[in-house]
Structure 1
């Protein structure tokens, strides 16, 4: 979101009192209604149902695996990605860390993991336990929700190990960074095309665009055929239905500044609900505000294993909502490539 956050004038006591008057609203919606961040709402319960913990991935992730089967949740303003699984195979990194489990697959950017909390809320079927991490502006980076199959004893051990010495119900937040709109340098367009064509791995893309003073959307808009083409805004919905009907495995990337979460595999139950398009599978849920999609692009990146073809959706401010690739772990994504390549490009040129 482009707006910045003004520190709340609500005290933790006032926040809890307001919440008691409106206990059923989703936490994110309630916080927005009160003009506070979700982190401030959670922090108001420190010493009650919340404990402030060390949010650094190097401290947190080695202990998350002990929780057993949990729900991992990463979201942005327009899309929520929920994956059941066990946190496995953590790899530390100063600028980027990774979890490479068969179900929970994530990339984390530790500088954004600022405020961490362990919550134990009352639920209809017993205590609801979660780990919630927020960035310096108070926006959610990642959440871990325990379920009946999770290890509550390991949760208590995690809280004891990561509990901060200072348990404060107030936060000092920084202004939220505005979304960067499309950016490009027309004078370096031919250089962009040359280097794009020479790519051998998709991970080279961000480095080359950054060096040439482009960002993702700016590069898509300017590079032209055969590398990027605008397609219909409902292409994501078409793709999800086709993948379910034709049993096409996908890789679905959803993220924010601090975290990217990835689903690799089939999608089965696609459920439209008002402005939302949802995947409602037993181990994976996706909730996408289709009406937030302002631009959708088919993007082709050369790699040593053949072209990587993706669909990328952006919001009206130019922020990336999600990316979908064909799943290529076991075999080339032939069905995916054929379906996405057949989607017609929009005739109208973007300014």
Structure 2
């Protein structure tokens, strides 16, 4: 998909949209068919500054801000966590904040464009991929260090050149990759796995991906659940007070919540978690497939609930915590086994 040119969206037009109180970067960009980064580019010199998006430079600078809110989204879900960026480990698959409030897995290849934004007293850092779509955002809070913010803006600033002409076309979602000829091999080798990190490489070696492998694996390995199972899952986690590991992200950033779900407020098709330092907003109507995935490990089966949208994009992955990390595997097992089955024994089309 080639983006329409954002040339007509100059700073005056942007300011008019803000005054009309209809302006939300992500939603408005989608409505206009524009990459979100083009909206920020239109505000250069009006509270928007282009900065270096390289995680090896940006993440340590974010750590100096102190307490902030980290936000990551995909087409169906957005997660927000309050905390501090710590324990950054650079590399081809970078990590920051492992086991802390802001817990991220990054693919630096997708951290291409970045801006600082200062508007009406609110400050944020926003990172985008090569197509100009949001990868990760950081919002300052009252307790954030403004001196560190000024230092970040000064040290990471780039020339105010436009990026619109250089934005790449969006990469179409991969969808489910299925190779029916590999069904028996997949099932045999899945049963022999000894860790959760081995499933994706197995699928790729058989010319499939995770969703495609779930469709072929059979109910012993991957049991299809109704698309509406997400609310039942979240309600059960909240009601039983169990701690889980919930992964939500996009190709450039996976953000992880480890802990309970204390509040759940459905509003139509929108599921809202609004806890003190953790929020989640999920469009349940955009969830097309949900799977209960069983991966063998030396400690026993690792069970995760995984959701995908109609294009095969991962929406979330939720799993229980092992006992040595404060989890309750027996309660998690009972919880997921109690999730509803597909109506009438229905299975996802192969």
Matches within 5 A, 1:160-199: 160-164=154-158, 166-171=159-164, 172-199=166-193
| 2:208 aligned with 1:214 | yes
SS of equivalent residue, structure 2 residue 196: coil
My pick for the range that moved more, 149-158 or 331-340, is 331-340
Contact 1:182/1:215, CA 8 A, preserved across alignment: yes
Q: 1:302 aligns with which of 293, 296, 301?
A: 296
* Structure 2: unaligned runs, 5 residues or longer: none
Contact 1:12/1:169, CA 8 A, preserved across alignment: no
Match in the other structure for 2:142: 148
SS of equivalent residue, structure 1 residue 203: helix
Q: CA deviation at 1:341?
A: 1.7
Match in the other structure for 1:64: 62
Task: Give me the whole-angstrom Cα distance separating, in 2, the residues matched to 1:44 and 1:132.
Answer: 14
My pick for the range that moved more, 113-122 or 21-30, is 21-30
Match in the other structure for 2:229: 235
Match in the other structure for 1:91: 89
Match in the other structure for 2:276: 282
Q: CA deviation at 1:211?
A: 1.3
* Structure 1: unaligned runs, 5 residues or longer: none
Contact 2:130/2:168, CA 8 A, preserved across alignment: yes
Match in the other structure for 1:333: 329
Match in the other structure for 2:42: 44
Contact 2:229/2:340, CA 8 A, preserved across alignment: no
Q: CA deviation at 1:54?
A: 0.5
Give the TM-score normalised by the residue count of structure 2.
0.94
Task: Give me the whole-angstrom Cα distance separating, in 2, the residues matched to 1:249 and 1:296.
Answer: 20
Change (3 A) 1:10 1:35: farther
Task: Give me the whole-angstrom Cα distance separating, in 2, the residues matched to 1:169 and 1:10.
Answer: 14
Change (3 A) 1:323 1:170: same
Change (3 A) 1:74 1:231: same
Give the TM-score normalised by the residue count of structure 1.
0.93
Contact 1:4/1:177, CA 8 A, preserved across alignment: no
Backbone CA RMSD of aligned residues: 1.6
Task: Give me the whole-angstrom Cα distance separating, in 1, the residues matched to 2:233 and 2:175.
Answer: 26
Matches within 5 A, 1:18-37: 18-37=16-35
Contact 1:87/1:101, CA 8 A, preserved across alignment: no
My pick for the range that moved more, 261-270 or 13-22, is 13-22
Matches within 5 A, 1:268-279: 268-279=262-273
Task: Give me the whole-angstrom Cα distance separating, in 2, the residues matched to 1:241 and 1:173.
Answer: 41
Q: CA deviation at 1:288?
A: 0.3
Q: CA deviation at 1:52?
A: 0.4
Deviations 1:37-62 (A, max 9, x none): 21100111122111100001111111
Contact 1:15/1:41, CA 8 A, preserved across alignment: no
